[in-house]
Structure 1
Amino acid sequence: MTDVNTESVYADHEWISLKDAAGQLGVSSGRLHRLLEERYLLSVKYSGEKQLPQAFIRNGEPLAGLRGTLTLLADQGIDGDEAMTWLLSEDDSLGMTPVAALAEGRKSSVRRSVQLFAV
């Protein structure tokens, strides 16, 4: 994954501030930070501030399957920008980005892809 340009991957997605994320989720900033700490969501510094992809919030809730995927990535020593770049990059084994596969409910396929990525 080291040959992937993080900025170009990030540029292909819509980003929201943590304040906007809290608003969409209907939670306080403190609760949002707990959701980040508990790996329901992931944010990175992008364009000078902590943000997260709009795709991580669906129908006013954190994207289903994201927490388990983030936990599995962290268990493999993959977090922060590396995890975000992987989630937002096209994955050949999935035929789409992992976050798009999660949005389609394909969490088992995404988890298998994590295991291949971490090897």
Structure 2
Amino acid sequence: MVNDNDVILPDDAWLAVPDLMELTGASLPTVKGWLQDRELVGARRGPNKAVMVPASFVTAEGPVKTLKGTITVLSDSGFADEEIIDWLHRADDTLQGGSAIEALRQGNKTEVRRRAQELAF
């Protein structure tokens, strides 16, 4: 398992469930559904080991639309949730936006998913 220090995001780049609810206006059951349906993945962080999600995974409307399929591809390749978070945030100057998550946020899912699929081989 990845420790808090291994995840490349700073502490202020994470959202707890109440933060997700406030940002999106979604109810608790809706946010829990996003996590259960793997539209979002998170990591247990902080002294209370609360589930937290990278802020980059969410917009005011909810989860980044193209994230779920990418999470599925990476999960099918054997990645744990923390590894998915790391991979999506890893700096990559060859992707638009400089990382896989930024490329997804900009609507460029094809190249991100192609690279994610290559990881399975």
TM range (shorter): 0.7 to 0.9
1:102 to 1:58, Cα distance in 2 relative to 1, 3 A: same
- Point out where structure 1 has 5 or more consecutive residues left out of the alignment: none
8 Å CA contact 1:18, 1:51 repeated in 2: yes
Deviations 1:72-113 (CA, angstroms, capped at 9, x unpaired): 111112131111111111135426211111011110011011
Please name the residue that 2:113 is paired with: 111
Deviations 1:14-67 (CA, angstroms, capped at 9, x unpaired): 111111102222222222111111111111112332211111111322112000
- Superposition RMSD in Å: 2.2
Please name the residue that 1:10 is paired with: 9
8 Å CA contact 1:41, 1:67 repeated in 2: yes
Please name the residue that 2:103 is paired with: 101
Which structure shows the bigger proportion of residues in helix conformation?
A: 1
Please name the residue that 1:63 is paired with: 64
TM-score normalised by the chain length of structure 1? 0.83
8 Å CA contact 2:58, 2:64 repeated in 1: yes
Please name the residue that 2:80 is paired with: 79
Partners of 1:102 and 1:25 in 2: CA distance: 19
TM-score normalised by the chain length of structure 2? 0.81
Poorly superposed stretches of 4+, deviation over 4 Å: none
Partners of 1:22 and 1:59 in 2: CA distance: 10
Please name the residue that 2:89 is paired with: 88
8 Å CA contact 2:43, 2:51 repeated in 1: yes
Letter in structure 2 aligned against 1:46: R
